[in-house]
Amino acid sequence: MPIQMSGHELLRDLPKSRKEEHYHNAVQSIEEFTIAHELSHHLLGHTVDDYPRSRANDAYLDDVMRKYGIELPDENLNGDQLQELRADVLALLMMTGALLNEATAARIYRASFGSIIGLTALAHIYDTWVVPEASSETHPDFLTRYSCATQVITRIAKEIPVGREGGHPLGLLVQLSGFVSIILNNWLAKRLDDHHPVDVMSLASWLFKRSTELEEELKRLDLWPR
């Protein structure tokens, strides 16, 4: 029998293989990213009531981005779209702790899940997977925001050592990338006659290959325990 839960609709009729708190934590991480994103708009002066320290905050964000080598995508984005990406970046810097040089593996795990799953759900609701044709769109498409988020997470995570049990935030990011690729390929398969969804074996092979590459990369960065 599936677990019957009260509260959030997304937590109903879930498999009993996971504890209820795991599902609550997952949903909460998405909510945290959403709140951090909207707060970032205010802190950076993107709202009607301009925050008094928005210019200083904007400059500080630039400094932290330079520190981690974070760059916004090169696509032709309008002002509103750039604001959305900067709000995403600041939200992730807050969630990971990197904004104040207090990043931890646990925070990066949570920020990764909250941002990637949250952005995926948003794209599913509004069908904004690929670059919109209209340059007047206020928000970038999913691929642009996803690329930006993974860049931020990757830059920060590459300063975190591998855990005692061999876990690392970039390992979760690899799994989330596989999850995203399935969704995108299924979306494309419905619209392109010559495009086929990713099969399980191909995905498993890609995940294994990418995990092996990640392990070697972490060893080169001297993040692997000796």
Closest by CA to 194, choosing from 205, 185, 203, 182, is: 185
What is the model's pLDDT at position 216? Answer: 94
What is the model's pLDDT at position 48? Answer: 75
What is the model's pLDDT at position 116? Answer: 96
Per-block average pLDDT, block size 10, for the chain (226 residues)? 44 55 82 96 86 89 97 86 96 97 95 96 87 75 94 97 90 93 85 78 89 94 86
What is the model's pLDDT at position 68? Answer: 96
What is the model's pLDDT at position 193? Answer: 78
What is the model's pLDDT at position 53? Answer: 87
Q: Burial letters for 4-39: b for 16+ Cβ neighbours within 10 Å, e otherwise?
A: eeeeeeebeeeeeeeeeeebeebbebbebbbebbee
What is the model's pLDDT at position 129? Answer: 84
